[in-house]
Structure 1
């Protein structure tokens, strides 16, 4: 088998330039001269016999379609190389290396701590880097190779993602303490037709909550929108409307000290499935598979349902 005409260093320089968007930005990050980076890009393009970038002095670096595909592959190769180096220092079968995890913002507090704890106990030589964010950004990160695995709601996900089910959350109603319907019994959403709504404006939670309302015969009048579930609860506690959330939140007090009450919805709302997701175009690393098993609470991981 002949060796490739490019080096891991060239790939690393290419990834750094692509992520920075400019030679100067990558130069500052890597502490390598811009001329050395430019030369590495030229050599990589010659080795691959393809144009990867369009370099314009005043507008930075733009990837060609071939460059975008190469970026995804280069990230994977670099991670595999790093995992190989880490594993070489351990025992046979030992999981090492770094796994990059993306977690939907509202799911992170409830799911990440226990998963990270299990993973650390099982694989002390491995590392986890995680980011929290909205679902559309996390999907892009998975498909572009920036993330190895994501913890997401299974709601309008890209079909290019492979999924493994974890659990689900059932939407519930959030009312201020003392509200006429805050007595613990399930409530039909139509009973709130005359009251304003506080919407957690963080897709897919917002889309799902509005869909739950419409399915129950309620066309909500949204008074306030927020991307922060704590702020949504605080606005409800201040008497500014009701909200529909999916992620359970412990406690009955907001940051301001107001009382809020979680009430079941009597209209049998559809649950939101929680899944592990990764790009179907790239096989997950051993470290990513081990993280998936820890998230699923088992030793082998769940089965893909896509």
Structure 2
């Protein structure tokens, strides 16, 4: 018996489930909020079950039936994409949808470069982007909300397969007139009493605690901000210092004030930048092509540096 619902309705339902609201799903799907709402209401009528609980001013939540159907809807959309991609692959080109996740602090430094280059090579691939904290991206991979993701590697990642793109050693930034600015290296223990400025988003706090512990000291965290540019600007004004993972592309803050980067003498391990996918999922040809492109573009000394 032919299905009495459309793939478009499933796409809207999955988008609402992923984003948590009709309005956010409308933006993601380039549709009107009313169109999203009407399509899902019709889908519920045709399936004979309620998929969503509508909560005024609080977004939506999945019903038990909605939770059960969500995975099947995602699988059907993936299969539809693969049919389209397979047909176009017969013409010798990659096509279809590829959803890329990225740790938010890395997004400005990795995504524009990778998207620009990859879409030039494979214009028929429809790239979609999501970003968030490290744990959110891991969860998105396991749940199937994205195909691959760019992350930092910290310990074992249960359920994920990873490919290392590059590795960098932690270092500190200080104001240009700081006493250690011209030093060849410095220990975290020497800076332990000074104000530390960190990103409020994980894993910055974990990193600080771990690195200072290895140096036999405790961090004096003074300021937290979700903006890495704010971190750098505060450091440039002499309000404290900060620990970063990979080299920033400029040695000035957004205000144009100079900064100094100083290597750490402490025995800290390198931190790996990785591209990951769910272990239980076989990557599509599109995902494999993006992984290979990211390896070629980011690996080695010529690749762009990123930020903690």
TM above 0.5: yes
Question: In structure 2, what is the Cα distance between the partners aligned to 1:18 and 1:246?
Answer: 34
Does the 8 A contact of 1:190 with 1:217 survive in 2? yes
The Cα RMSD (Å) is 3.2
1:129 counterpart = 2:120:
no
Question: In structure 2, what is the Cα distance between the partners aligned to 1:21 and 1:109?
Answer: 25
For residue 178 of structure 1, give the secondary structure of its aligned residue in structure 2: coil
Segments of structure 2 that go 5 or more residues without pairing to the other structure are: 298-308
CA positional deviation for 1:200: 2.1
Query: Deviations 1:186-232 (Å, cap 9, x if unpaired)?
Result: 11111113211111222113311331112101211111111222111
**Residue 46 (structure 2) aligns with:** 43
Question: In structure 2, what is the Cα distance between the partners aligned to 1:130 and 1:164?
Answer: 19
**Residue 236 (structure 2) aligns with:** 237
Segments of structure 1 that go 5 or more residues without pairing to the other structure are: 46-50, 299-306
Question: In structure 2, what is the Cα distance between the partners aligned to 1:108 and 1:188?
Answer: 30
Question: In structure 1, what is the Cα distance between the partners aligned to 2:240 and 2:192?
Answer: 11
- Under a length normalisation based on structure 1, what TM-score does the superposition of the two structures give? 0.80
Distance 1:154 1:30, change over 3 A: farther
**Residue 287 (structure 1) aligns with:** 286
Question: In structure 1, what is the Cα distance between the partners aligned to 2:62 and 2:278?
Answer: 21
Distance 1:129 1:42, change over 3 A: same
Question: In structure 1, what is the Cα distance between the partners aligned to 2:10 and 2:218?
Answer: 52
**Residue 181 (structure 1) aligns with:** 180
Does the 8 A contact of 1:18 with 1:63 survive in 2? yes
Spell out the pairing of 1:6-25 with structure 2 (5 A cutoff): 8-19=7-18
The correspondence for 1:31, drawn from 28, 35, 58, is: 35
CA positional deviation for 1:17: 5.0
**Residue 301 (structure 2) aligns with:** none
**Residue 51 (structure 2) aligns with:** 53
- Under a length normalisation based on structure 2, what TM-score does the superposition of the two structures give? 0.80
CA positional deviation for 1:112: 2.9
CA positional deviation for 1:144: 2.8
For residue 105 of structure 2, give the secondary structure of its aligned residue in structure 1: coil
Distance 1:57 1:215, change over 3 A: closer
**Residue 63 (structure 1) aligns with:** 62
Distance 1:112 1:20, change over 3 A: closer
Does the 8 A contact of 1:142 with 1:149 survive in 2? yes
**Residue 251 (structure 1) aligns with:** 250
CA positional deviation for 1:176: 0.9
Does the 8 A contact of 1:142 with 1:150 survive in 2? yes
Does the 8 A contact of 1:168 with 1:271 survive in 2? yes
Distance 1:275 1:231, change over 3 A: same
Query: What is the aligned length?
Result: 291
Question: In structure 2, what is the Cα distance between the partners aligned to 1:74 and 1:39?
Answer: 15
For residue 297 of structure 1, give the secondary structure of its aligned residue in structure 2: helix
**Residue 304 (structure 2) aligns with:** none
**Residue 48 (structure 1) aligns with:** none
For residue 68 of structure 1, give the secondary structure of its aligned residue in structure 2: helix
**Residue 199 (structure 2) aligns with:** 200
CA positional deviation for 1:238: 0.6
Does the 8 A contact of 1:212 with 1:270 survive in 2? no
Query: Deviations 1:245-302 (Å, cap 9, x if unpaired)?
Result: 113112221122222101000002122211112223433322222211211229xxxx
Does the 8 A contact of 1:197 with 1:224 survive in 2? yes
Does the 8 A contact of 1:107 with 1:247 survive in 2? no
Distance 1:135 1:68, change over 3 A: same
Question: In structure 2, what is the Cα distance between the partners aligned to 1:32 and 1:192?
Answer: 54
